[in-house]
């Protein structure tokens, strides 16, 4: 088994070298509830847009079947930034639920001491990272019984190949 892992690791390393990269990425794709969309001021540099995502996984319809994972992420692409700004009002409204399908990269665990509520004094954790992409957004406003699709990332447009020159040397 270690031979397989070594080969896989070597293949990933060779692939990265061929592409000119000196690093390997790990991305997390998932679905979760969007909240706390905000612009974070920075002393030196440009402010950035950040949000919280309560990602979830597990088995629907089973008691305690769903597990929630907290993410605190920074918008790392123009697309993610634009989607967060577009749905900021709904995401920050307590009477509205916003669910997104996302891709996060470069995540790491951050711990903190809880200062308020039932868990005051305990250690909390959050996964931090970079929000690379938001592919779907669903919204359930107060009084609605189901979610409505509010955003779907457009499919990538295939590039039009350059027109090949004709035999006489002209294009088209």
Q: pLDDT tens digit string along 101-143? A: 999 999 999 999 999 999 999 999 999 999 999 999 999 998 8
Query: Residue 157: its pLDDT value, please?
Result: 56
Query: Residue 127: its pLDDT value, please?
Result: 95
Q: How many CA within 13 A on the CB side of residue 87?
A: 29
Query: Residue 76: its pLDDT value, please?
Result: 95
- Polymer length of the chain: 172
Angle at 10 between CA 8 and CA 13, to 5 degrees: 110
**DSSP H helical segments within 2-151, as ranges?**
2-18, 78-86, 88-91
Query: Residue 11: its pLDDT value, please?
Result: 47
Range of the domain at 62: 25-152
The reply to whether 17 falls in a domain is no
Query: Residue 9: its pLDDT value, please?
Result: 43
The reply to whether 120 falls in a domain is yes
Using 70 as the pLDDT threshold, list the residues of the chain that sit under it.
Answer: 1-20, 157-172
Identify whether the C-beta of residue 134 lies closer than 8 Å to the C-beta of residue 153: yes
Query: Residue 156: its pLDDT value, please?
Result: 77
The reply to whether 133 falls in a domain is yes
Q: How many domains does the chain have?
A: 1
Query: Residue 25: its pLDDT value, please?
Result: 82
The reply to whether 13 falls in a domain is no
Identify whether the C-beta of residue 66 lies closer than 8 Å to the C-beta of residue 57: yes
The model's pTM is: 0.75
The reply to whether 70 falls in a domain is yes
**Distance of alpha carbon 68 from its chain centroid, rounded?**
15
The reply to whether 157 falls in a domain is no
Structural tokens at position 123? 């250690």
CATH code for the domain of 113: 2.40.50
Angle at 58 between CA 55 and CA 61, to 5 degrees: 115
The reply to whether 10 falls in a domain is no
Other Cβ atoms closer than 10 A to 80: 23
Query: Residue 4: its pLDDT value, please?
Result: 36
Three-state DSSP state, 169: coil
The reply to whether 112 falls in a domain is yes
């Amino acid at each position: 088994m270690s031979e397989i892992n070594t080969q896989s690791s070597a293949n990933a390393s060779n692939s990265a070298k061929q592409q000119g990269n000196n690093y390997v990425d790990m991305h997390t794709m998932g679905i979760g509830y969007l909240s706390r969309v905000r612009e974070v001021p920075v002393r030196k540099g440009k402010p950035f847009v950040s949000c919280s995502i309560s990602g979830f996984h597990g088995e629907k319809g089973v008691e305690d079947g769903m597990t929630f994972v907290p993410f605190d992420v920074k918008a790392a692409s123009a697309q993610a930034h634009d989607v967060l700004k577009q749905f900021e009002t709904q995401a920050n409204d307590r009477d509205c639920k916003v669910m997104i399908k996302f891709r996060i990269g470069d995540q790491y665990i951050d711990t903190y001491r809880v200062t308020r509520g039932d868990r005051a004094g305990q250690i909390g954790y959050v996964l931090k990272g970079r929000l690379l992409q938001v592919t779907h957004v669903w919204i359930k406003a107060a009084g609605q019984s189901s979610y409505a699709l509010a955003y779907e990332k457009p499919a990538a447009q295939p590039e039009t190949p350059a027109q090949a020159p004709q035999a006489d040397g002209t294009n088209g």
